[in-house]
Amino acid sequence: MLPALTQLLQVQERDQRILKFQKDLKDIPLHQARARTQLAGDQAAVEKATQVVKETEVKIKSIELDIQTRQNTIKRLQDQQFETRKNDEFAALGHEIQRYQGDVRTLEDSELEQMEALEAAKAGLKTAQDKLAETQARVNDELKALDERATGIQARLTEIQKERGELAAPVDPDTLELYTRIFSKKSDAVVAIENGVCGGCHVKVVSSTIQSLRQGTSITQCDSCGRIVYLIE
Ligand SMILES: [Zn+2]
């Protein structure tokens, strides 16, 4: 085999690893985004549970206000009752007071119900928050692992790029340029011909290509795809 071919095969091996590492690096943000989507469901559950707590608190406030209003009315009616000297008015006021007191009892019952609902809502929120925290911890671990992976790949990439540079340096510039042009289009530029078939395009090469390879004096390209070829017999 031509020494240039041996050199190119080594360069190509590095170039293919460089491509693979570059792709792996490019995929990392996708993996990170995917990891973060795991949080969405738990975050939504926390938001919903928070909303239920808030709504229940508002209901309780509103009931308390209703109770306060009725108690003020009761107080006012009792004052009126205290001041009146007419028996029928006294009795009428007494009935009204009882009616408002009945209202207050109903409101207090419903306040109690809402207080229980609030306890349940708070427990629900706590459960949702715990689950989110658990998922967050797992996602953080995944993100950290991905960061470490990216750092590792980057280090390896730098190393291989250096190696590639050293391996490419002694290659004849025209040959290297030809190789680079083909590699940039096809991701492999140097392929074997086996049983007369090009390993790149899988087309049978013409006999002059085989002859040229047997002479082994110059770089030979596949007549179909243009890749640089070498012979396996
Ligand atoms: Zn070919």
pLDDT at 156: 97
pLDDT at 233: 77
pLDDT at 47: 98
Give the Å distance between the CA of 207 and the centre of ligand 1.
13
pLDDT at 1: 81
15-24 pLDDT, tens digit each: 999 999 999 9
Give the Å distance between the CA of 123 and the centre of ligand 1.
69
| 162, two tokens | 């250096």
43-64 pLDDT, tens digit each: 999 999 999 999 999 999 999 9
Give the Å distance between the CA of 183 and the centre of ligand 1.
13
Q: How far apart are the first and last CA of the chain?
A: 12
pLDDT band for 103, please (50, 70, 90 cuts): very high
pLDDT (mean) for 183-209 = 95
pLDDT (mean) for 160-166 = 97
Write down the pTM of the prediction.
0.72
Give the Å distance between the CA of 163 and the centre of ligand 1.
28
Give the Å distance between the CA of 200 and the centre of ligand 1.
5
Give the Å distance between the CA of 60 and the centre of ligand 1.
80
pLDDT band for 2, please (50, 70, 90 cuts): confident
Q: Where are the alpha helices (DSSP H) in the chain?
A: 3-83, 87-168, 173-186, 207-215
Give the Å distance between the CA of 205 and the centre of ligand 1.
7
Please report, to the nearest 10 degrees, the dihedral formed by the alpha carbons of residues 205, 208, 210, 213 taken in order.
-130
Give the Å distance between the CA of 215 and the centre of ligand 1.
19
Instruction: Give the residue extent of every domain in the chain.
Output: 3-169, 172-233
182 vs 23: CA distance, rounded Å: 19
Distances 174 to 91, 116, 163, 170, 193 between C-alpha atoms, Å: 116, 83, 20, 12, 22
Give the Å distance between the CA of 17 and the centre of ligand 1.
22
CATH architecture of 3-169: Orthogonal Bundle (1.10)
